[in-house]
Structure 1
Amino acid sequence: MIQEALQEIQRGTAEIIDNERIEKLLKGYLEEGKTYTVKAGFDPTAPDLHLGHTVLLHKLATFQKFGAKVQFLIGDFTAQIGDPTGKSETRKKLLPADIAKNAESYKEQVFKILDPEKTEVVFNSEWINPLGASGMLELTTTFNVARMLERDDFEKRYKGGVSISISEFIYPLLQGYDSVHLKSDIEIGGTDQKFNLLMGRHLQRSYEIGKEQAVLMMPILEGLDGVQKMSKSLGNYIGVEDEPNDMFGKILSISDALMWRYYELLSDKTLKEIEAIKAGVEDGSLHPKKVKEDLAQEITARFHSDEAAQAAKAEFDKVHAKSQIPTDLEEFAFEGPIWIAKVLHECKMEPSTSQARRDIKQGAVKIDQQKVSDEQLQLESGEYVLQVGKRKFARVKVR
């Protein structure tokens, strides 16, 4: 049983530090019913989560199956500094009101995956604010500047003459101090967080709390393009709160190769089940499209419902397989005549009029299911169904 639990916990991981400690904690639970704590921190820098964030949430849920109490840490204090990981310049400071709003949004979203009875939601302002000046100074004595500059992104910025604020040096210390205060047994994070995660182990030794947390790192999930990490700013993300039809369609748009990575990191199917599905695709008994549809339905149902996932599949089949128009279209009204590129931008189907013109040139824009070729087209009075690509539709009335 311990080996089966370890296999599930190690599934999809990029690196584990102190695997022996994790095995010991699992053994304590399975043989004696002892619980343990697993921490993961999220800075509420945006109001919504995407599937890239849920890679960690799924791993937390796996730990909950095997006796863990999850410490879901919302970094309301550290968000004011901004995690410098991977950043080429100092981040802009967030306003406290935005942080509070985003934090509440996170709390609503995470319990679509985590068991609330086995989760403690904590805010690091609760123990960092009381540290005060003397406590903060004591914290800074636990690490030196030379070692801080060994961190890859700091080293690059220092050598490149790019500014690094003192607060950015303090960020990893504060993340590590979270582990001191919470006395975490395990901390998980992305591979880009290795320096910060190891800081927790270092500070637990420095503050002599009687334990050193194990560290488990998950790979960064690629976005819809299959190349860059999933990111809202890159537009290659699938949001936890995306509408069912959008979520279903986006998942079906990923490549067949990327599909297996999503299965491993996001699906509730066991590794044996996934291997059986892979074998079916390889021997031709299963079609990759059907396998991808199953994944899209599973994920859409998780964040919405089985009924919503089934409806999304039916709508997708209707629109894409049969080239029909969706049932529910958002409607917009304009005074005419009006330039087609401006309409597409105003309807939020295109990020700019320039992009609209490029898509028209590439044949990606349709009016009433007919391709548009004139990028200077003026829409006269009437009612139109506009389409960009395979998934974006709008009903437009021009007066």
Structure 2
Amino acid sequence: MQTTSDALDILCRGCEKVLSPDDLRAKLGENRPLRVKLGVDPTAPDIHLGHSISLSKLREFQDLGHEAILIIGDFTAMIGDPSGRSVTRPQLTHEQVLSNAKSYQEQAFKILSRERSKIVFNGEWFEAMSFDEVIKLNSRVTLQQMLVREDFRDRLDRGQPIRAHEIQYPIMQGWDSVKIRADVELGGTDQLFNIMVGRDLQREEGMPQQVAMVMPILEGLDGKQKMSKSLGNYVALNESAHDMFGKIMSISDELMVRYYQILLKETLPADAHPMEAKKALAQRVAARFHTAEEAQAARTDFETRFSKKDLDHADLPAYTPGEARDFLSLVVEAYAKCFGIAKSRSDARRLLEGGSVQWKGEKIGDVKAVLAGGEAGVLRLDKTRAVRIG
């Protein structure tokens, strides 16, 4: 049995902010299963490593005997969460959202215990609301409150539009907390405003306010923006161990330090060899979502391809060039078609000029170089990716 103090230490570990630890301690001291909420909007079919951070925290609550409530935002997803967005999200149909939701649930159970999870669709209550009830709910929040949000304020300052439906999002997320009587809500740091709206609405309903527990945002593979499928800088949970390993090996040494902190909750030793540390990180992450054997096989294949310079015998993605034959265009196309990574021509130019791009083992430094028609061989894009042409 965990003491309240032990449980508090476990649950607060790795959080960016908890509002407040004293409130969480008091709730844990009630000696009952807490109702712990995590909302996800199935705006795309994949869950990635960035999502895994809050899901892993929810699993910790499960392991301590608490009730995990995963809210599938089938209605909120049609709006699209404006948190951290500089432009309005494209709207989805309900059918698209429900299709994505099936995939989301299966991937979430790579982390959560299926038996100890409760899945709730927020369409259960929003679909039943009359327009009169929507108006009454909106009357509880002021426009000034909404415009305190940094992302909304930034868009106003830049003269970019904020659509009226986007202002509904925090209200709807907050009402979810009222409907399920959440004791705790989890989310990324960009969700803090929305979670606090939930606390306000719970107070107005005369119920105890939920504890806000926000997790750090995981940067994507580019190390610049948060991990996002739309930005092409993600590692999906349903990718093969081979692809997971290869993608993680592509991150910078600086970003690797942060991945150790956020994904493994460890501090990378200062004297660690960067390449060996990165291989260990990639292998451990791949093993978490696959098997130890698959993760080891991915590492062995990577070492065959890159550490041993034996690309000719490695299992590489096949790539058939389009009409463009210049290496600059080939690099951009190969990243997109074989790895789902968006690279600009400027990115490709830097790779070429830096000596990263190789054709049949020879560096291609000339940005105007062209692939001869009918040639077959291995095109190395960078230190962790290569494709087979022909």
**Structure 1 match to 2:317:** 330
Pairs aligned (count): 381
Q: 1:114-129 counterparts in 2 under 5 A? A: 114-129=112-127
Give the match for residue 212 of structure 2.
215
1:286-305 correspondence to structure 2 within 5 Å:
287-305=273-291
Structure 1 equivalent of residue 5 of structure 2: 3
**Retained in 2: the 8 A contact 1:340–1:379?**
no
Matching of residues 371-382 of structure 1 within 5 Å: 371-374=363-366, 375-382=368-375
Q: Structure 1 CA distance, aligned partners of 2:157 and 2:333? A: 44
Match of 1:315 in 2: 301
For residues 259 and 356 of structure 1, what CA distance do their matches in structure 2 show?
Answer: 23
Q: How far apart, in 2, do the equivalents of 1:86 and 1:334 lie?
A: 37
Distance 2:141 2:164 in 1: 13
Q: Match of 2:286, SS?
A: helix
Aligned mates of 2:323, 2:187 — CA distance in 1: 52
1:236 maps to which residue? 233
Residues 329/136 of structure 1: CA separation in 2 closer, same or farther (3 Å cut): same
Query: Contact 1:339–1:379 at 8 Å: present in 2 too?
Result: no
RMSD: 2.6
Deviation at 1:103, TM superposition (A): 1.2
Partner letter of residue 330 of structure 1? P
Q: 1:392 aligned to 2:385?
A: yes
CA distance in 1, matches of 2:217, 2:107: 20
Q: Percent identity?
A: 41
Pick aligned residue for 1:224 from 221, 229, 241 = 221
Q: Is the 8 A contact 1:35 1:69 kept in 2?
A: yes
Q: Does 1:369 align with 2:361?
A: yes
In 2, Cα distance between equivalents of 1:241 and 1:338: 33
Per-residue CA deviation, residues 252-279 of structure 1 (Å, 9 max, x unaligned), is 3444454343233222xxx6xx46xx5x
Give the match for residue 352 of structure 2.
360
TM superposition shift of 1:356: 4.5
The correspondence of residues 12-51 of structure 1 with structure 2, limited to 5 A, is 12-29=14-31, 34-51=32-49
Deviation readout 1:265-304 (Å, 9 max, x if unpaired) = 222xxx6xx46xx5xx34x5x5454443332222101112
Q: Kindly state the Cα deviation for residue 177 of structure 1 after the two structures are TM-superposed.
A: 0.4
Partner of 1:153: 151
* Residue of structure 1 in register with 2:99 after alignment: 101
Point out where structure 1 has 5 or more consecutive residues left out of the alignment. none
Gaps of at least 5 residues in structure 2 are none
TM-score where L is the length of structure 2: 0.88
Asked if the contact 1:340–1:377 (Cα under 8 Å) also holds between the matched residues in 2, the reply is yes
Q: Distance in 2 between matches of 1:250 and 1:336?
A: 28
Q: Which residue of 2 aligns with 1:138?
A: 136
Shift of 1:77: 0.4
Give 1:188-199 correspondences, 5 Å limit: 188-199=186-197
TM-score by length of 1: 0.86
